[in-house]
Structure 1
Amino acid sequence: MNYDLLFATDRKKKLELAVIGVQGFNHSLFLYGSRNENISIRILCGRKVQKCVAAYRSIGVSESEIVHCSSAEEGLEAFREGKYLIFNDVPLAMSMPFDIVIEGTGNPEASAVHVLAAIENRRHVIMVTKESDSVAGPLLALKARQQGVIYSLAEGDQPALLIGLVSWARAAGLRILSIGKSSEYDFIYNPGDSTVKVLDTTMSVPDFASLWDLENNAADTLKKRSEALSLFGQRALPDLSEMGIVCNHLPDFDPDIPEFHFPIARTLEIPEIMSPSEMGGILSGGMRIDVVNCLRRSDEQSMEGGVYVVVECDDRETWDILREKGVPVSRSGKSALIYYPAHYLGFESLFSVLSVGLLGMPTSSRSPRPRYDLAARAVKPLKAGTFLEARGHHHVIDGFEGLLLPAKSISENTQLPYYLAHGTTLKRDLEPGTLLTMDMLEIPDSAILWKLREEQDREFFA
């Protein structure tokens, strides 16, 4: 694909971009987006003004050109003068004359407020915050369409990348068996001292060399690996959240089990493992979605949290040639791995900006539907009165794990979408294994995300 030609629809057009949140994912988007001739970024929104100032200064903007705006009049005047604007009040910023907003706060409630304000002001939205999208993304996309604007997932994060890879495979005429992503953090094996490392934790596994290669029954090896590496844990909440979003955009794919398999697997093993059982894999059927934990030596390339598609090898000549060229093919020769071994976060999201702004197309689907919910299940005893809050880099609520269940209209006794629990308080004690429901919580009256989810339920489940 020649991207110069793809985005050459109007070389003189300058897309005005507003960015909510200037750290993490959005840092690289702001830095590299400021270098793109089709993009202008003169609106930054954040709680800490000095961080926004520092971001502008990092691209050469002088202090005299930066204006901290507290009213619409002040903002409009500064914008007309070509100044660089900073807002603490995000809904106020959404009334400025820009084209597209990137929401990247990661805060479930705040992001819902921000996106709703953008759509009401008829601004295109590129959504990075999966926490709120997993709860009410289909409704936000519908509201955007009703206002004549686009709601898109962000290229550079795995949901949009996986949707793109699936569309690529289909366009190429390939028959898909399963799809998914590699989890963020690799299991790194050191054969010299027989240790395995994940992030900063290293454990000795004396007999791990015997688990490096698959046995004839792949499931047996995977079970032994899980037992040997049980210290680390295999399931990560953000992975489940992201794959649930993909299910809402791709109606043909479903989880094999609600918790996902999360096998610890080498890249070359994925085409065999993530295939139906009749083809030697661990899945109960085709068209499944899951996550793998990448197992590798330190001198091997990581999958870097990338995305994959496992396809059927239904033409021997084609796949014999590709296997010779290094394409991973299962031992049986019946399935193969197509993968994009990275996600480049913010600067890759510029493709979403250009696609939405110049081509009028999202880098996801146009009309997602609520097919699966990321539900919450207690993993330890929890006392009544416990305040629940999504915290940390991956916005995990302490004491709960996630699982993907078919979406339902929420009521007192049905599963609760995981991030609706953010900002609530437990009304009663919970035992491990308890599925969280609405009647277990004290709910803030002003919670916008709850109202959006109730509206989504009426719209799609009436």
Structure 2
Amino acid sequence: MNLARLAAEAEARGTPVRAGLIGAGKFGSMFLAQVPTIKGLAVAAIADLDPDRARRACHTVGWDEGRVAATAFLDDGAALAARDDVDVVIEATGNPRAGITHARAAIAAGKHVVMVNVEADVLAGPALAQEARAAGVVYSMAYGDQPALVSEMVDWARATGFHVTAAGKGTKYLPAYHAVTPDDVWSHYGLTAEEAAAAGMNPQMFNSFLDGTKSAIEMVAIANACGLDVPVAGLAFPPCGVDDLAHVLRPREAGGQLDRRGMVETVSSLERDGRPVFRDLRWGVYVVFEAPNDYAAACFRQYGLPTDATGRFAAMHKPFHLIGLELSISVLSAALRDEPTGQAREMRGTVAAVAKRDLKMGEILDGEGGYTVWGKAQPVAQARTALPIGLAHGVAMVRDVARGTVLSFDDVAIGNDPVADLYRGLTGT
């Protein structure tokens, strides 16, 4: 409630929060668009594999020449993390290996880290958070993206004394989407390949949103941050509108569709026959919570909170998330309050790589959103030997596997891999 005031005071002192951005894609560009209107926040440096692209992004979002000239542009994220004029490092590359490397470089240099890169967080978030605490800096989820927004809602529910039953987000989902590849992704978005290319849209990235992988990554990130459980069978993606959240997302014993209380789940904006769900939550987030006593349940009804038929379970939702437009909340919170906007605490879940088609020995996996695998949310206890989607890129199959198989470490040639070793250490593999 006081971030704007704290930031304005920092501006008045002549000590604005100085951010360094690694990765000038869509998320990063949306953040950059807001910076000129936020008192007490400056971007000192931007790192991108293509610094000229980063400069163009600044011009595209409306930066004037003076602001662009005052910003350093680099092609090395680790070098950005070491700069003396950076207080908070924003990791927005989307590459899990790069994200872990950049976060560790920033922590070693005494910088706060805002991890937009959820792919990196589900591989090593608890370890990075512990390293940050030991170094006296903050490791944080990125506000504006669903995991941080859901973490905030879960914290609100618990801090007000309610029992969290379920938490998650909405998306567009049908079971057939698990097999979609970058070749046929655009038809599901109502675009031609030419229209998508003209807009600079990456087919593999957008396919990850569609084939269930991104939802799995985000739900596991929420589970790891909030101490919630991942469904044993993976996300069910039940069709559900905002009016039915408290009815659908309660335990089966109470008439709902969850295995038990305290779960993550993604709801679909499509019925299984393809019809749109009434008042869907495609772009939003939610939390379902249970009254701890009869008095609180009566208050739900008296004050108009939407509940299930019993009146015991209630839901709150936010119908949108604005990703990079809201990212400054995390940057300012880390620098001015030493507080993360959500943080991985333990490895409760993982995202296992599942074969999209029959795979042959010698084939090279192409990772998230690609042609070979999709990511399935799993409890760590049931999937310790599963190959995580973040490591299923650029590695060769060492034997044939059938479509639908959850890949294991034994199915691929990992070799000497520090990131794999870090993940194995966290999951007890």
TM, length-normalised to structure 1: 0.77
Corresponding residue for residue 40 of structure 1: 42
* Alignment correspondent of 1:452: 419
Q: Which residue, out of 375, 397, 408, partners 1:402? A: 375
Q: Are 1:84 and 2:71 an aligned pair? A: yes
The reply on whether 1:123 has 2:101 as its aligned counterpart is no
1:40 partner SS: strand
Q: Secondary structure at the match of 1:113?
A: helix
Instruction: Select the structure of larger CA radius of gyration.
Output: 1
| Change in CA separation of 1:299 and 1:268 when aligned onto 2, cut-off 3 Å | closer
Structure 1 residue aligned with 2:157, among 161, 166, 169? 169
Task: Work out the CA distance in 2 between the residues paired with 1:458 and 1:291.
Answer: 28
Flag the 1:47–1:409 CA change in 2: closer, same or farther, 3 A.
Answer: farther
* TM-aligned CA distance change 1:185 to 1:357, over 3 Å: farther
Structure 1 gap ranges (5+): 67-82, 187-196, 202-232
What amino acid sits opposite 1:437 in the alignment?
S
Q: Cα 1:457–1:257, aligned 2, differ >3 Å: closer, same or farther?
A: closer
Which amino acid is the alignment partner of residue 62 of structure 1? E
Equivalent of 2:102 in 109, 114, 118: 114
What is the aligned-residue RMSD (CA, Å)? 3.2
Matched residue, 2:82: 95
Whichever residue aligns with residue 419 of structure 2, its letter is: L
Q: Number of aligned pairs?
A: 394
- Distance apart, 1:159 and its partner CA: 0.9
Shift of 1:353: 0.6
8 Å contact 2:90–2:113 — kept in the other structure?
yes
451-460 or 21-30: which moved more?
Answer: 451-460
Conserved in 2, the CA contact under 8 Å of 1:165 and 1:308? Answer: yes
Q: Does 1:350 align with 2:331?
A: no
Per-residue CA distance 1:98-126 (angstroms, 9 max, x = gap): 10011111112222222222222221110
Higher helix share: 2
SS in 2 for 1:423: strand
Unmatched 5+ residue regions in structure 2? 175-186, 192-208
CA gap 1:283/1:409 in 2 versus in 1, 3 angstroms:
closer
Kindly state the Cα deviation for residue 442 of structure 1 after the two structures are TM-superposed.
2.4
Deviation at 1:374, TM superposition (A): 0.8
Equivalent-residue separation in structure 2 for 1:325 and 1:458 (angstroms): 48
Identity value in percent = 29
Partner SS for 2:222:
helix
Higher strand proportion: 1
Shift of 1:295: 4.8
Task: Say whether 1:443 aligns with 2:418.
Answer: no
The alignment status of 1:145 with 2:133, answered yes or no, reads: yes
Q: Do the aligned partners of residues 320 and 29 (structure 1) sit closer, same or farther apart at CA in structure 2, a change above 3 Å counting?
A: same
Supply the AA of the counterpart residue of 1:88: D
User: Counterparts of 1:426 and 1:166 in 2: how far apart (Å)?
Assistant: 40
4+ long deviations beyond 6 Å: 296-300, 408-411
- Which letter maps to 1:105? T
Q: Alpha-carbon deviations, 1:413-453, whole Å to 9, x = none?
A: x21111111121212221123221222222365xxxx4134
Are residues 1:418 and 2:389 paired? yes
Contact 2:152 2:342 (C-alpha < 8 Å) held by counterparts = yes
Aligned partners of 1:459, 1:287: CA distance in 2, in Å? 22
Shift of 1:172: 1.6
Displacement after TM superposition at 1:149 (Å): 1.6
Per the normalisation by structure 2, the TM-score is 0.82
